[in-house]
Copies of this chain bind each other. A is one copy, B any other.
Amino acid sequence: MLLSKSCVYGLRASLYLAARDENGYVPIREMSDKLEISFHFLTKILQQLTGEGMLESYKGPNGGVRLTRSGEDISLMEVVMAIDGDYMLTECALGLPGCGVMKPCPIHEKWAETRDGIRDMLESTTLTELTKKGKDFDLRITAEGGFRDLM
């Protein structure tokens, strides 16, 4: 997998949060139900995002999690970095240590170019941009269900 399962779930959950116009706290249970992700597993992932400051959480009734900033200001990159780290953008394609620091491997040049494509995509895409598209065209956010079923 390009992105780990945790990361993918984190992205889906982030989109879910960004898609809600009210900005109250959203219970993790609600998200795990709607997105068909194990509650405990999702909790763990969201704790990471909370730890990174992307989300804030609140305990007790009416508690849950919410984005700390507007979805417009949050790029996919931010979510990926918080969960998977930067390995994808810094690792040598041949698995050699010190890509970009030590003498390059023969794939380096081409791989660095390709990698920039990935970086640009992740950096330039915001949560809001995707949720807007998702709502406009009722795109999929779960195996079967689209954005409109969700809200």
Contacts and interface: CB of A to CB of B under 8 A. Distances in A.
Contact of A114 (B9, B96, B118): B118
A11 interface: yes
B121 A113 contact: yes
A110 B121 contact: yes
Interface residues of A, number: 46
A130 B118 contact: no
Interface string A87-113: 110010111110000111111111101
A141 B102 CA distance: 12
Given A2-B2, A121-B114, A130-B106, A11 B140 contact: no
B103 A140 contact: yes
Interface stretch (A24-32, A50-58, A66-74, A131-139): A131-139
A91 B143 contact: no
Interface in A119-151: 121, 125, 130-131, 133-134, 138-143, 146-147
